[in-house]
Amino acid sequence: MKKAHLPLAICLACGLSGFAVYAHSAQAPKALTADATTKKIVEAADAFLATLSPEQRKAVSFAFTDTRQRANWSNLPSGLYRRAGLKMGDLTEAQQKAAQMLLQGILSKQGYQKVTDIVNGDEYLRQNDRMGERLNFGKAEFYLSFLGKPSQTSPWMFQFGGHHLAINATVVGKNITLAPSLPAAQPAKYTLGGKTIQPLGREMTKGFALVQALTPDQHKTAVRAPYFIDLMLGPGQDGKTLAPEGIPGSQLTNPQKKLLMDLLGEWIGNLNDDDAAPKLAEAKANLDKTYFAWGGPTTTGSAAYYRITAPTVLIEYSPQRMGGDGTNHTHCIYREPSNDYGAKLTSPQ
Amino acid sequence: MTTAQSLPLLSSLLAFCALPALAHPRDELGQASYVGITPSSVTIELSLTPGEQLVAPFAALAAKPDYPQRVLTDLCLSLDGKPLMLNLLPKPLTTGEQSTKLYFSAPLVSLSGGKHTLRFENHHTPLKSAYLAATLAGTDGIQIGQQTHDATQQTLTVAFQAPNHEWNLTLWLVGAGLAGCLIYARKRRR
């Protein structure tokens, strides 16, 4: 090789080596590390799985890549919608308790309470609605499933759902997302043990608090229709990002922003405190780019819809016409744009 | 659409008919439209969800070979008051347990930069229906503005802003010209 070509050859070799290293690092799966919360959740998942028979374990387990099972959730009762996995009603008391422990680890105290209230609400419906028998309402009709093996270092999912409930928790190392999840309630208010229960009561009252705090001019921007609508991004609408509608956070006063943040916290705070904290921080940082839209009357107690569209969160609260009274039947959805089932956490960077 | 293109659609529709797809409210066909806007096209995803009492009638309807084409004729799309030609996409129809999806697209041949108004109308009423419509977040420089609906949500009007490609081209040309001048000046110095 001529001397003049030597520097060029060295440069070329260095460049190629650099590119090879970059390409390898880009393709190599990210090493996942768990934190104390994930470790606790994985232990709870393993403890639950240990209570199962081999047949039950087979029935509850799916591949992490099973896209059909991933999207196999609905607001409908099991008499109208076929779910897969294990049914709570088929589990022993010890197995049910172990499943509840796992849910308690994934969710916050308030999140778990809402799930309990929704399940109890469906049991109330079974006992008090003439269609309960035919449509399979009730607490026995909630299903659970795992996609992937519970792990601290590789992604997996836990699903829990039935009529008016879908919890899709994706665990990726130290990160957990509940997107997409569907909390709903019918009846929206019921009495149990002498206590009045409203599973999604705070989601409603905090929505009204915000819309009622707006000035007449802000109302014109925020209130998009005099009627409520159904969910736009309910079951079967994964992967979509809606254009924002309504009033942006940048047009709110500080007290109004506080109300918006309080409402966001009610939703994000269903996840355990450790995993909710960074999501709340993101939501706060994006508050000016967060839109609040309303449909329906703004008087407390009316049947009204709202949507929050933020860079990292999408929330819909939707009264339902079925049953005659929109205030007594609500469907909601919680999503994170581009992060359904942890897509952002599991995709190669 | 050719026969070959329609076959996957038809087979998917027939497969859907066997599924127990049901939704609230029980006596209505839910029709949700998702409008996507790019600088080169407008896409419509129509999600059809029959309520419990309409599963059988909808299955019978959807099993007809010309059903997707019939839906197409019931949709209207216009840009700045001028009608756009919607086409049924050969994309395989998605049939989940709950909804049947049809996809449509209209090309935007020469979308100028600046403000535009898109109007979408869904007049498909084969059964008692409840409508929804929303615009997806804009991509490739499209900025979605105000969205307005009629009382039944059958009509959606969207104001949007398209990126100014002419201005981008001018910038590129000016940049290329400057670069050429620099190279020429350096050669002259040598």
**Which two tokens mark B151?**
């009382």
DSSP for A295-315 reads ES--STTS--EEEEE-SS-EE
Residue B55 domain-assigned? Answer: yes
Residue B74 domain-assigned? Answer: yes
User: Which of A234-243, B53-62, B96-105 reaches the highest mean pLDDT?
Assistant: A234-243
Average pLDDT over residues A213-230: 96
Residue B59 domain-assigned? Answer: yes
- Tell me how far the alpha carbon of residue A186 is from its chain's centroid: 19
Q: What's the confidence (pLDDT) of residue B99? A: 85
Residue B127 CB-density burial (10 A; 0-12 exposed, 13-18 middle, 19+ buried): middle
Q: What's the confidence (pLDDT) of residue B20? A: 30
Going through A135-201 in order, the beta strands assigned E by DSSP cover: 143-147, 156-162, 165-172, 175-177, 182-185, 190-192, 195-197
Residue A31 CB neighbours (<10 A): 7
Mean model confidence pLDDT for chain A: 92
Residue B168 domain-assigned? Answer: no
pLDDT band at A6 (very low <50, low <70, confident <90, very high): low
Which amino acid makes up residue A221?
A: T
- Closest by Cβ to A230, choosing from B99, B132, B144: B132
Residue pair A288/A248 in contact by the 8 Å Cβ criterion: yes
Residue B180 domain-assigned? Answer: no
Position with higher pLDDT, B115 vs A20: B115
Q: How many angstroms separate the CA atoms of A102 and A106, rounded?
A: 6
Q: What's the confidence (pLDDT) of residue B3? A: 39
Stretch (H or E) spanning B164: none
Q: Which of A266, A251, A268 is CA-nearest to residue A313? A: A268
* pLDDT tens-digit map of A311-328: 999 999 999 987 678 888
pLDDT > 70? residue B69 = yes
**Which two tokens mark B75?**
């949709």
Average pLDDT over residues A55-69: 97
pLDDT > 50? residue B100 = yes
pLDDT > 90? residue A20 = no
Q: How many angstroms separate the CA atoms of A172 and A183, rounded?
A: 23
Biggest CA pair distance of chain A: 94
Residue B36 domain-assigned? Answer: yes
Percent of chain A with pLDDT over 70: 90
Q: Check A236 against B52: CB less than 8 A apart.
A: no
Stretch (H or E) spanning A30: none
Position with higher pLDDT, A4 vs B130: B130
Residue pair A243/A250 in contact by the 8 Å Cβ criterion: no
Q: What's the confidence (pLDDT) of residue A130? A: 76
Residue A120 CB neighbours (<10 A): 16
Range of the domain at B60: 23-163
* pLDDT tens-digit map of A87-106: 999 999 999 999 999 999 99
Considering only CB atoms, which chain A residues are within 8 Å of B96? 71, 236
- Tell me how far the alpha carbon of residue B38 is from its chain's centroid: 10
ipTM of the prediction: 0.89
* pLDDT tens-digit map of A142-179: 999 999 999 999 999 999 999 999 999 999 999 999 99
Considering only CB atoms, which chain B residues are within 8 Å of A228? none
Residue B175 domain-assigned? Answer: no
Q: What is the DSSP letter of A181?
A: B
Average pLDDT over residues B76-92: 92
Q: How many angstroms separate the CA atoms of B156 and A14, rounded?
A: 57
Q: Which of A129, A91, A105, A120 is CA-nearest to residue A275? A: A105
CA distances from A68 to A145, A166, A181, B97 (A): 13, 15, 16, 10
Q: What is the DSSP letter of B111?
A: P
**Which two tokens mark B83?**
């009608």
Q: What's the confidence (pLDDT) of residue A129? A: 81
CA distances from B36 to A72, A275, B42, B46 (A): 25, 33, 6, 11
**Three-state SS sequence of A226-261:** CCCCCCCCCCCCCCCCECCCCEEHHHCCHHHHHHHH
**Is the sign of the CA dihedral A42, A339, A185, A82 positive or negative?**
negative
CA distances from B163 to A244, A245, A250, B106, B160 (A): 19, 21, 24, 19, 10
Percent of chain B with pLDDT over 70: 78
Residue A5 CB neighbours (<10 A): 10
Q: What is the DSSP letter of A286?
A: T
CA distances from B188 to B19, B25, B174, B182 (A): 77, 79, 21, 10
Residue pair A226/A328 in contact by the 8 Å Cβ criterion: no
**Which two tokens mark B125?**
């009423």
Q: What's the confidence (pLDDT) of residue B169? A: 58
pLDDT > 90? residue B11 = no
Which amino acid makes up residue A73?
A: W
**Which two tokens mark B42?**
């407008």
Residue B126 CB-density burial (10 A; 0-12 exposed, 13-18 middle, 19+ buried): middle
Residue B170 domain-assigned? Answer: no
**Which two tokens mark B108?**
């935007």
The pTM of this model reads: 0.86
pLDDT band at A234 (very low <50, low <70, confident <90, very high): very high
pLDDT > 70? residue A290 = yes
Return the minimum-mean-pLDDT range out of A44-58, A117-131, A239-253. Answer: A117-131
**Which two tokens mark A221?**
């921007």
How distant is the Cα of B174 from the closest Cα of chain A, in angstroms? 32
- Closest by Cβ to B132, choosing from A72, A232, A337: A232
pLDDT > 50? residue B9 = no
pLDDT > 60? residue A26 = no
Q: What's the confidence (pLDDT) of residue A134? A: 76
* Sequence-ordered alpha helix ranges (H) in B63-123: 67-73
Considering only CB atoms, which chain B residues are within 8 Å of A237? 32, 34, 47
pLDDT > 50? residue B120 = yes
Q: What's the confidence (pLDDT) of residue B2? A: 40
- Name which of A72, A164, A232, A318 to mutate to probe chain B: the one with the most chain B Cβ atoms within 10 A of its Cβ: A232
Q: How many angstroms separate the CA atoms of B152 and A210, rounded?
A: 26
**Which two tokens mark B76?**
């209207």
pLDDT > 90? residue B187 = no
How distant is the Cα of B33 from the closest Cα of chain A, in angstroms? 9
Return the minimum-mean-pLDDT range out of A60-64, A156-160, B56-60, B76-80. Answer: B56-60
Q: What's the confidence (pLDDT) of residue A348? A: 72
Q: Check A229 against B136: CB less than 8 A apart.
A: no
Q: What's the confidence (pLDDT) of residue A283? A: 98
pLDDT band at B186 (very low <50, low <70, confident <90, very high): confident
Considering only CB atoms, which chain B residues are within 8 Å of A232? 32, 34, 132, 134
Locus of tokens 């049809």: B102
pLDDT > 50? residue B184 = yes
Position with higher pLDDT, B91 vs A105: A105
**Which two tokens mark B154?**
């059958």
Q: What's the confidence (pLDDT) of residue A325? A: 81
pLDDT > 80? residue A252 = yes
pLDDT band at B15 (very low <50, low <70, confident <90, very high): very low
Considering only CB atoms, which chain A residues are within 8 Å of B136? 240-243
State the total domains in chain B. Answer: 1
- Tell me how far the alpha carbon of residue B155 is from its chain's centroid: 14
